[in-house]
Structure formats: C-alpha cells, structure tokens
Structure 1
Amino acid sequence: MSLLVAVTWETQPWVDRFTRHLPGREIVVLGEEFDRASIRYVATWGPKPGSLDGLPNLEAVFSLGAGVDHLMGYPGLPDVPIVRVAQDDLTHRMSEYMVMHCLLYLRDHARFAAAQRTKRWEEDRSPPIAGDVRVGIMGFGVLGQDAAFKLKMMGFNVAGWSRTPKSVEGFKVYSGENEFDAFLARTDILIALVPLTPDTRGILNRSLFRKLARDGRLGGPILINAGRGGLQVESDILACLDDGTLKAATLDVFEKEPLPENSPLWEHPRVTITPHNAAVSEPEATARYIADQIRRYEAGEPFQNVVDRTRGY
C-alpha cells in the first residue's frame, strides 16, 4: 500500500514528511520506478497530464491545499474521492488576514501612512466605528464562517453569501442567485472566498462591482480577494478603481502568478498586493492531516472534506 507524491515542486521534503507521519508505508514519487498497482493514495498539487493514469487500485486523491481547481481540469481524473485539506492552521491564518485588512480600511491606514511619508499631521475628525461597516463574505464555508465570527468579534456588521442555503447562528446568510444582488447591495467590504469553478471564473468584474453599496461610511466599496486569481478580471478592477466604482482593493491572488512586473496593479495607489500568502498551508500540518485521513479511512471511517464533483469544490 503506497502513497504517490505527484507535485511540480521539490518532492523530497514531502517524502520525508509522509515517511514520518506514515511509518512503514512506501512513499514514491513520479520519475522513479514503482509498482503502479500498489498505489492506494495520491497526494498532489497541479499534476501533469498522465501522472494520475494507470493506477488500478487507487482509493483517494488528496489535494495539498484547500483549493481543488487544479484537479478539476485534469483530463481523465480518476473516479475516486478527491479530498481537500481543511485544517485549523490554514483557517486561522485566513481569518487573521481578513481581520487585519478590514481593520486597516476601517482606520483609513493608507491615508495616515501617506501623511507620515510627507510629515503631515492628518486629523481624523469623524472616523466610523466597526459596526458602521458592512462586510460581505462571498463563500460561507469553513474559511468564510471563521472569518465572519472573528470580524463580528471586532464589531463589524457581517453577512455571508453561499451558493446553497445555510443557517449560521448570528449571521444573515444570503444564498443562490436570487439573493446575490441583495447581498452585494448591503456590502461595503466584499471578501471573496468562493472556490474557482466554471460558474465563478471572472465573477469579480465591473458588473458585480456596480452592485455594491454606494452609501457606506468608507467612501466607496472595497474588494478583498484571497480566494483564487481566476475569480477576478484585473482590467475591470483597475478601471473601477480609476472611475470610483471601487474605492480600494486588497489582492492576494492573481490571474497570473507570480504577478508580472509590468502589471499596473503594482503601482496603483489604491491597491494592496500580497504574494498569495493569506493562508499558506503549513507543510507539516498538511502531511499530518493527510496521514490522519488515511488512518481514519483504513479504520472504517469516511474521508472528511470530500469534493462534490458536480459543484467543483
């Protein structure tokens, strides 16, 4: 019973991690000789075409991260459970990122940072309180709900939107296409955490931005995207920042990564860029999580966080 590590980056650290957490198991990598019939599990990110083929006894594929869009487009994806990594470490990091940036916008940090650079004493006579600011979290799964609870603790007025109906105590949760516009209309800071699917690709565009609240205390709607770069249309973000449809944007993910040096996003005064590090999966915790999933399964328990292929997440 072997585990195949199929990644596009250096493999040995992952072999070492899985060897520690799955003692006695054979851990193999692409490019080496191994018995394909012995492979029961695959741990992967961005597998190359053909790397998951010809594994007759495969029982599960584990994504080495929270997202699975890198697998959904794989030609001939094996008909076995696809399991997402969902661990507390990643969830907490994402919530830290959201709380930090929402607070920076609440306290108008960019204005004061600019004033400091010019040695100008900039008074703030009527700052809003957190309860005046409506945060809308688009994608109300594990990550979205944890961020919502922590933002609410800071006083923000938080609501969520989910593709399917959900009931989460303490929050108004909009759902489906019929309630999407109402969700956008009450949102001052839009947080995008939806998975990347054919339905959500390019959803962060001018049409959506125009539907955000225009009467908020922050002087215009703000976008925070730490979901997937494919969700956003970057030319629309830039145009909407320039014409006032958006006041500001914090972007952790991009259409192309690393973000090219010639992208105008780098120098736009109302864009904050982070290098896809909002919620970096801690490798040791990820390996431990996958090992625990394998042990649970072999003890007769179901896998956790299995992807619904019809939805793509």
Structure 2
Amino acid sequence: MSNRELVVLGTASQAPTRTRNHNGYLLRWDGLGLLFDPGEGTQRQMTFAGVSANDVDHLCITHFHGDHCLGVPGVVHRMSSDRVRGAVHAHYPASGAKFFGHLRYAAAYDDTVQLDEHPITGDGTIARGPFGSLRAVRLEHRIEVFGYRLEEPDGRRMLPDALAELGVRGPDIGRLQREGSVRVGDRTVELAEVSQERPGQRFAFVMDTRLCDGVFELADDADMLVIESTFLDQDADLADRYRHLTAAQAARVAADCGVRCLVLTHFSQRYTDPRRFHDEAAAVFDGTIVVASDLDRIPVPLRR
C-alpha cells in the first residue's frame, strides 16, 4: 500500500446516484490524514473503504453546500464514539462558521473529540508540520469557497555510490545531512557532492468554482490535482451559469500547470457514461487522467 494515496469516498455532485455517493476524499500522506468535503453518507463510505475515524487529522471543507459538508455530523460523532486520539483540526470558510456549528452539534452525543476549529478568512498558509504546509486559496462560486494545496518542502536524495566513493558512512551520513559538510580523513565532503535535489511533492484540491486565478495557483506543478468536472463541454453554458467546471476546462488547467496526475470528480447525475469525461479531458491533457469512482484508491505519483 502506498503511504501517499487518495481514498475516494464519494464522487457525485448535487444529488447522489445508485453508484456515486456525495463527495468525500481522504488523503493519506505518510502518517497524516486529511478528509476533504465529507458529504452525506461519508461515515458509511469510510467503513466500506476501511478508513477509521482515527485516520483523520485534518477536516477540510471548501464551502457549505450540502454535498460538501452534510457528512460532518456523522464523522464528528464517530470520532467521539471511537475516542479519537489527539487533536483534529477543522478548516472551513469563516463566513460559514454558523453552519459548521450547526453541523458539529446537529444532535446530542458524548463529545469527547478535541476538534480545534481554524476558520479561514483569506488566502495563505493555514497549517504547518513535518508534512510541510497546507494552504488555502479563494475560488469563485455562488458562495465563498476555498481550495487547498499541500506542499512538501524540497529536500535532497543521498547517492549511495558517491557516499561510498568518498568514504562517508555510519553516523557521518546523518551529520552531513544536518550540517551540510563533514570531515572525512584529510578532506571536507560537502552535501552537494553526495546528493541531488529532490523536489517536494504537491497536492491540490479544487471544488465548485469557475475558472479563475485561484484554480491555476492551486494546480501549479501539482503531482496530483483533484478537481471538479461537474459538466461536459457540451453544457458549458450551464457550467458558467452555476460557476462550475467542465472536464475540458479541468484538463486545460492540468496542461497549463504541469500537473502529473489529474483526478476528475464531482460529476452531475445527468451523465451516465464516465468515459466521456476521460475522452474530453484527454483531448486537452496528455498526462495521467483518472475519472474517479467511489472507493477508488489512487496513489500519489512517486517523487519526480
């Protein structure tokens, strides 16, 4: 199992179907778990997917339309009943704080979870940790909405052959990584001599928006872009009216931004053949395209 993967819990848009639940996406990132936009039925989908309430460290809501948040009560109640360890951080648009309060306390329960709320008031970094940083960027929909971007810091990959050639071994390797140089015999070995740059990975999450600068900012150089493609291009007028994206528009973003893996989701119930989304996107973007289905597990591409 990849230690960095997207677990898809739901892929419908306004109305669920027989095969698509409301939204829900868990990003596993090493030991971190980020649950994005839990719509109605997410708690049950987590059971089907083998996802525990203890897997969630961050709860990230893009906006307060029901298909993106009505699963919050069940998820939070489950966290309490399972006695989730440690704090869970909830991120959501500050303008919807009253809605989050209603969802969090939608019914009586034994409230044992430490759920720390972090309302988002504007663009910027909203969390930091060993994983890097989590940013929020404003998008354009009928109500306030933010997308999310996880950024791992750049690092260096050690080169075993170069280490051996220059006699760097054992504790000296760790010292070299920490200090940037180490003395071996009669010479100083610099980190750059025995390593190469390793770009940090990028993950972007975009829901319910029309094309805007924020979409491109989130998607820039992303290893994985999870993005709504509610409509096909034949219904571009509806997409514009309701401030959503088409599969072709999502693919254009991926192509322009150098995305490696494009994950399409949030499909209108009016379409019954998911292959049409792939075909439309493939005409614009020649990278990896995944038309998400409920309970898919999609690995984040290996580091470049």
TM-score bin (small chain): 0.3 to 0.5
TM-score (norm 1): 0.33
More strand, by proportion: 2
TM-score (norm 2): 0.34
